Amino acid sequence: MAIYRLLQKSAFEPDDIKRMSEAYERALILLGLDNRKNDPLTEMVAQYIIEIAQTGETSVDLICARTLERLGSLDRDKSLPLSEASS
């Protein structure tokens, strides 16, 4: 996973890593992406997840949603089933 490779060089707590990993996996699902190794798009998703988490955001749903917004893929007229994706 691109996110784990990026997180190896960071100083996040285990709970932070878990939240970021969950947000990353949700974002990939919602974008219809496989977690392909060395894929520039999945790498970008991982970088955005980390950047948003570094702002202090702790909600997996919001980290994922803000990542999608940043990627420009969030349809503002539809709600995403983020909570259902975590079950």
The model's pLDDT over 23-80, given as tens digits with 9 standing for 90+, comes to: 999 999 999 887 677 788 899 999 999 999 999 999 999 999 999 999 885 454 344 5
Q: How far apart are CA 48 and CA 68, in angstroms?
A: 9
Residue 8 lies in a domain: no
Number of domains in the chain: 1
Domain carrying residue 23: 15-74
Domain contains 42? yes
pLDDT (0 to 100) of residue 73: 52
* Predicted pLDDT at 26: 95
**Within-domain flag for 79:** no
Does position 6 have pLDDT exceeding 90, yes or no? no
Residue 4 has pLDDT above 90, yes or no: no
CA atoms of 19 and 36, how far apart (whole Å): 20
